[in-house]
């Protein structure tokens, strides 16, 4: 069994559904022996306070990211904000000495990607991008079957993705619908497709 000598101290930035559930409540419920939530940051402190209660934490709340980083000095920053804000937060976190896990997509433009990669190389810190479908049971099982040769050599893949009128329509009701915020739905949503078709075979890294 893995022996943990020191928990990784992480700060959560962005308290929407993904930040509050997967990177808040669920992460602590399953991995509290390994990580400690030391700070929660959101421009909307009322939402942050509500999220903190749902997470089940007593971590301090911040509306100012720079202040949080200077006061808490976390080992890790988890970014769950709108896509167009990722690069500013990631670069600041790296420069403050923290590693970063960012929700997908890492950012929205090539220039922003280059900026993040330069900061990662310059600071020696690490950026990982979260693609939840890499670890979905169906995806993992498909990978296992193909590697076992259960269906022979794969020579062609035809992949389709369908969304219902509830979940799919959400992307046209929120900030995701605006290219300036999400880089377009091709960037925000179709990253799942490339991850499913290629990312389950290789690690998702930007170097």
**DSSP assignment of 21-51:** IIIIIIHHHHHTTTEEEEEEE-S-HHHHHHH
Structure tokens at 24: 């808040």
Confidence of residue 173 (pLDDT cuts 50, 70, 90): confident
Indicate whether 19 pLDDT > 90: yes
Helix (H, G, I), strand (E, B) or coil at 7: coil
Indicate whether 202 pLDDT > 50: no
Interior CA angle at 180 toward 176 and 182, to 5°? 35
User: Which pLDDT tens digit goes with each residue over 105-157?
Assistant: 999 999 999 999 999 999 999 999 987 777 778 888 988 998 999 999 888 87
Structure tokens at 120: 């990662």
Domain architecture of the chain: domains with CATH: 8-130 (3.40.50.720), 134-199 (no CATH)
| Average pLDDT rounded to a whole number, residues 186-194 | 70
Indicate whether 73 pLDDT > 90: yes
**pTM score:** 0.82
| Average pLDDT rounded to a whole number, residues 101-105 | 93
Residue 52 contacts residue 40 (beta carbons within 8 Å): yes
Residue 128 contacts residue 98 (beta carbons within 8 Å): no
Structure tokens at 84: 């167009």
d(CA 89, CA 59): 19
Confidence of residue 193 (pLDDT cuts 50, 70, 90): low
Residue 127 contacts residue 120 (beta carbons within 8 Å): yes
| Average pLDDT rounded to a whole number, residues 10-26 | 96
| Average pLDDT rounded to a whole number, residues 36-46 | 98
Helix (H, G, I), strand (E, B) or coil at 173: coil
| CA neighbor of 99 nearest in space, from 35, 18, 165, 172 | 35
Confidence of residue 2 (pLDDT cuts 50, 70, 90): low
Indicate whether 65 pLDDT > 80: yes
Structure tokens at 54: 């749902």
| Average pLDDT rounded to a whole number, residues 66-88 | 97
CA within 13 Å, CB half, 162: 1
Q: What is the mean pLDDT of the chain?
A: 87
| CA neighbor of 112 nearest in space, from 129, 135, 130, 136 | 129
């Amino acid at each position: 069994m893995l022996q943990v000598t020191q928990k990784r101290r992480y700060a959560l930035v962005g308290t929407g559904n993904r930040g509050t559930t997967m990177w808040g409540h669920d992460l602590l419920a399953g991995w509290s022996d390994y990580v400690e939530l030391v700070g929660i940051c959101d421009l909307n402190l009322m939402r942050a306070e509500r999220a903190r209660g749902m997470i089940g934490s007593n971590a301090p709340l911040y509306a100012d990211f720079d202040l949080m980083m200077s006061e808490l000095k976390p080992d890790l920053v988890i970014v769950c904000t709108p896509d167009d804000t990722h690069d500013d937060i990631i670069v600041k976190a790296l420069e403050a000495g923290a590693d970063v896990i960012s929700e997908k997509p890492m950012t929205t433009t090539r220039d922003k990607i280059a900026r993040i990669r330069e900061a990662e190389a310059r600071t020696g810190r690490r950026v990982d991008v979260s693609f939840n479908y890499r670890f979905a049971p169906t995806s993992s099982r498909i990978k296992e079957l193909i590697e076992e040769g259960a269906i022979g050599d794969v020579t062609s893949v035809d992949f389709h993705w369908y969304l219902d009128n509830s979940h799919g329509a959400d992307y046209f009701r929120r900030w995701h619908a605006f290219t300036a915020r999400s880089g377009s739905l091709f960037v925000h949503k179709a990253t799942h497709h490339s991850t499913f078709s290629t990312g389950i075979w290789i690690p998702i890294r930007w170097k």
